[in-house]
Amino acid sequence: MVERRRRIPTSLAITAIIASSGASAVGAQNHRSSAIREGRRCRPLLKRLLDPLEDIEGEQAADALIDYFGSLRATLTASRKEQLRAVGDARVVAYLGAVNQSMRWVLRNEIEDRTFLASTDALRDYLRLVQGSNAFEQARVFYLNGRGRLMREECIGWGTPGAAILSVGQIIGRGLEIGAQYIIMAHNHPSGDAEPSQSDRDMTRKLAIAASLVGMQLYDHLVVSDGDDFSFRENGVL
């Protein structure tokens, strides 16, 4: 009798599964209902990811994780401690860690292999994975050369659930050291609403002015959340 082996999803297959679970943009008033709908879509997708694990009830584990975190993206980006608290099985936690690293690798390669001056779609996918579900605000800066290709990515600060501490001088100084021509700023909103606050707008204006004074350009400022994003450039703020 031939033993049936479970098929393990490849990195690209995992990318396709998770990409299909992306939520559409929502306002603050619709975020809760959107999160509930996303949770319903994510359960069968997460079960498919967990099915290859031997002696694991994929549906039961998926239900426990989605009930706890609310979405597939939040599940994958949560800390191992929180994942273990939700599902209670170290094998599931280890597997989710491998899936997360695979997704990061795929999406990181995507942003390294293209110019951002034409489109920031790949960058948004990457940001929503690595920090869209964070419980605290985190700020990143992407330094680009004259052709719009990535030179350096740097995490420049963590903050509270409602604010990240940023230094315009630090961002500009680092850009001068690297020799960047363009800057893309990014941070997340743990609230789930990607609409920029007044302080976000004020900081963006200051950063744009400071960059222009030294021959650089703030090309965009992206605000991301678990199910939404906002581009200052596309919305005419820059």
Segment holding 152, helix H or strand E: strand 150-160
pLDDT at 39: 61
Q: What is the mean pLDDT of each run of 10 residues along the chain (238 residues)?
A: 43 48 43 55 83 82 88 79 88 86 74 73 82 79 92 77 68 94 92 88 94 96 86 90
pTM of the model: 0.65
CATH superfamily of 11-108: 5' to 3' exonuclease, C-terminal subdomain (1.10.150.20)
Residue extents of the structural domains in the chain: 11-108, 119-231
pLDDT at 206: 94
What's the Cα-to-Cα distance from 82 to each of 64, 74, 78, 88, 95, rounded to whole Å? Answer: 12, 11, 6, 10, 14
> How many whole angstroms separate alpha carbon 170 and alpha carbon 155?
12
CATH superfamily of 119-231: Cytidine Deaminase, domain 2 (3.40.140.10)
